[in-house]
A and B are shown apart, each in its own frame.
Chain A
Amino acid sequence: MSNNTHGAEGQGCSRRLIVLEQREGVLKSTSVDLWHRMQMQCKGSGLSAVLLGPVDKENPSLQLSGPGVIHHACDERLRRYDPRLYRRIIGELFEEGGFSELLFADTALSRDLAPALSVRLGASLLSRCSALPEAGRCHRRLYSGAAEGTFVASSPRAIVTVSPSSILLQPATEFLPDILPLAVPAAAHDDLPSIVRQVVRREGMVDVAEAGVVVAGGRGMGSAEGFALLEELASLFGGAVGASRTVVDEGWRPHGEQIGQTGKSIAPRLYIACGISGAVQHLSGISGAGTVVAINRDSHAPIFEVADFGLVGDVGEVLPEFVAALKEFLKMQ
């Protein structure tokens, strides 16, 4: 085992178990990022992680750098999220391994799994932490982003879910984690009360919650057709299209693209808001974004107060010019 134990045991790294998530055979980038952030914090002491379900594309240990072990249950039954089996396997590994902290990236899956597991394990639950907890404390935005709260676990055990960050880490180390096969218990025979029957993929674009660049439109885009311009803009960056609630309520875009308090929280390195006024409920979803760019015809729109770069103008006129100019710059690179 490459479980070398020099370095910061002060963080209790050996007692922390990371849950890595795959969807449809692909290791999630948010999980990879969580692993790497833990590597930074634990400075070379071996990490432990658990991964449920097969990973098709690339050997998981090649996507993750730094020392540690990955308990991998490579069973086909775990390819799709099975709440009961997932809870059971993770819960048992946690108990048997004598771990005290369970870490997830904040995703649809962890939001379903973590609360139930916290009851099962009698653990404090710290959800949607803005960064890895330090000394058992984590921070989170509350009240539509108007305030920040500090949460502290008061039980000896804790489950932590961490929001994605706009800064992706790729630590360079010669270590690769070891993969340990993990046996899967036979499915519970009792009345299986909830099963995932099917996963419907939305083809094409990356998800707003995971994209490195998000181009979002508001009512100012004028119509569903107006979003063609934003799709073109997003594709220049390999990014995702997002929307304000108004746009979703109008039926111009699906709810999965909504950003804000009643939509998704995003953490791209670049966020471009077009024809979005910047209501508090919208802004609460973008507090994790890196650079914010706003395009709006109203120079007093609140979105400019939270933007790094702004352009006052009609989207119908300035967006085609913007796209053309970006293409030129991209060609130059």
Chain B
Amino acid sequence: MKKPLSSGFFVVRTKEENPPMMHIAVCVCLVPDTASVFGFSDGTLDRSRITEVINPYDEYALEAALQLKEQFGGGEVTVFSHAPRSGSEALRKTLAMGADRVVIAEGEGSDSWQTASILAHTLTSWYSAALPEVILCGRQSTDFGSAEVPGMLAERLGLPSVCAVSSLEGGEDGVFRLEREIEGGAEVLEVSVPVVISAEKGLNVPRKTSMRGVMEGRKKPVEIVEGSPVECARVGLGALLPVSNKKNCHFASDARALAGMLHERGLLQ
């Protein structure tokens, strides 16, 4: 495991990098667009009618990274994704939004454990000298919604992590002030870099891509990393069964009748 050189914000890097630069990594995954038609056959998702998009939570993470880069007047935002090669087109949107490069750790079908291990491996080899100051992830993916990878990744890298962050401030002195929603309130936290942060909806409003951004994005590099070591899966997934929430709705004639129905069923307590 690589240790960061310093916990100060501006890490002194290898000699060819001058002046020192802030590095921000954003971990992005692709998910089926929720507007797609979800069909299931043979216990798996029928992908023929699915369009893949960037996980919406990861857009909050990317936006936060881009804002940090602006706030600190420079730095490099690199997007890391464990995805098949074919995902590069969809991932180009991150370049159009303003990321500097995309690194695809090729592969698919991994569980959270494997995804975290592949991302950890890719990050440590990519940043051979020192881990980036900030690693941002989305709170969860919108397909499985496990919310597991960010915390696992941090633990593997030996970094602190704060999940589901809805506000992020400071950073000038290498310390961030964060907020996270908890049941019935919010937690205010402080954390020093390097750190893994996962983004909650509401952290920011992700920027729209402009025509110019798309054109510039075309020129930015998408690098493919093949053959990352794969660990055994820790969780097996059985057949997916389509479910229906459909119920037989009893319509009430008016508001009083509705209240009466609830009363009869003993629901007014």
Q: Are A127 and B154 in contact (CB under 8 A)?
A: no
Q: Are A325 and B255 in contact (CB under 8 A)?
A: yes
Is A186 close to B, CB under 8 A?
no
Measured between alpha carbons, how far is A237 from B259 in the docked complex, in Å?
Answer: 13
- Give every chain A residue within 8 A of B248 (Cβ-Cβ): 308
Is B216 close to A, CB under 8 A?
no
Stretch from A38-46, A68-76, A148-156 forming part of the interface with B? A148-156
Measured between alpha carbons, how far is A329 from B269 in the docked complex, in Å?
Answer: 10
* B235 vs chain A, min Cβ distance (A): 5
Measured between alpha carbons, how far is A229 from B150 in the docked complex, in Å?
Answer: 40
User: Within the complex, which residue of B32, B160, B256 is in contact with A143, where a contact is CB–CB below 8 Å?
Assistant: B32
- Give every chain A residue within 8 A of B129 (Cβ-Cβ): none
* B5 vs chain A, min Cβ distance (A): 14
Q: Are B163 and A312 in contact (CB under 8 A)?
A: no
Measured between alpha carbons, how far is A246 from B247 in the docked complex, in Å?
Answer: 25
Is B173 close to A, CB under 8 A?
no
Stretch from B9-17, B61-69, B96-104, B137-145 forming part of the interface with A? B137-145
Chain A residues bordering chain B, tally (CB within 8 A): 94
Is B249 close to A, CB under 8 A?
yes
Q: Are A128 and B145 in contact (CB under 8 A)?
A: yes
How many residue pairs link A and B with beta carbons under 8 A? The number is 271
- Give every chain A residue within 8 A of B265 (Cβ-Cβ): 291
Q: Are B148 and A199 in contact (CB under 8 A)?
A: no
Q: Are A304 and B45 in contact (CB under 8 A)?
A: no
Q: Are B254 and A308 in contact (CB under 8 A)?
A: no
Q: Mark A312-323, 1 if CB is under 8 A from B, else 0.
A: 110000110110
Is B245 close to A, CB under 8 A?
yes
Is A198 close to B, CB under 8 A?
yes
Is B172 close to A, CB under 8 A?
no
Q: Are A202 and B255 in contact (CB under 8 A)?
A: no
Stretch from B20-28, B84-92, B185-193 forming part of the interface with A? B185-193
- Give every chain B residue within 8 A of A145 (Cβ-Cβ): 243, 245
Q: In terms of DSSP, what is the predominant structure of the interface of chain B?
A: mixed
Chain B residues bordering chain A, tally (CB within 8 A): 83
Q: Are B239 and A150 in contact (CB under 8 A)?
A: yes
Stretch from A57-65, A170-178, A187-195 forming part of the interface with B? A187-195
Residue on A nearest B238 in the bound complex, by CB: A150
Q: Are B252 and A108 in contact (CB under 8 A)?
A: no
* A149 vs chain B, min Cβ distance (A): 5
Measured between alpha carbons, how far is A295 from B252 in the docked complex, in Å?
Answer: 10
Is A5 close to B, CB under 8 A?
no
Measured between alpha carbons, how far is A131 from B56 in the docked complex, in Å?
Answer: 27
Measured between alpha carbons, how far is A142 from B145 in the docked complex, in Å?
Answer: 7
Measured between alpha carbons, how far is A114 from B191 in the docked complex, in Å?
Answer: 19
Q: Mark B229-253, 1 if CB is under 8 A from A, else 0.
A: 0001111111111110111111110
Is B166 close to A, CB under 8 A?
yes
* A163 vs chain B, min Cβ distance (A): 11
Measured between alpha carbons, how far is A123 from B151 in the docked complex, in Å?
Answer: 14
Q: Are B38 and A309 in contact (CB under 8 A)?
A: no
- Give every chain A residue within 8 A of B249 (Cβ-Cβ): 294, 304-305, 307-310
Q: Are A147 and B145 in contact (CB under 8 A)?
A: no
Binding site for A on B (CB under 8 A): 7, 32, 34, 38, 40, 45, 56-57, 112-113, 116, 142-152, 154-156, 159-164, 166, 177, 180-192, 195, 200-202, 232-243, 245-252, 254-256, 258-263, 265, 267-269
A124-B234, A124-B235, A329-B263 are known contacts; what are 19 more A-B pairs with Cβ within 8 Å? A81-B187, A113-B151, A115-B152, A116-B155, A120-B155, A123-B234, A143-B144, A144-B38, A147-B40, A147-B45, A150-B239, A193-B192, A194-B161, A198-B188, A199-B188, A209-B183, A237-B269, A304-B249, A321-B256
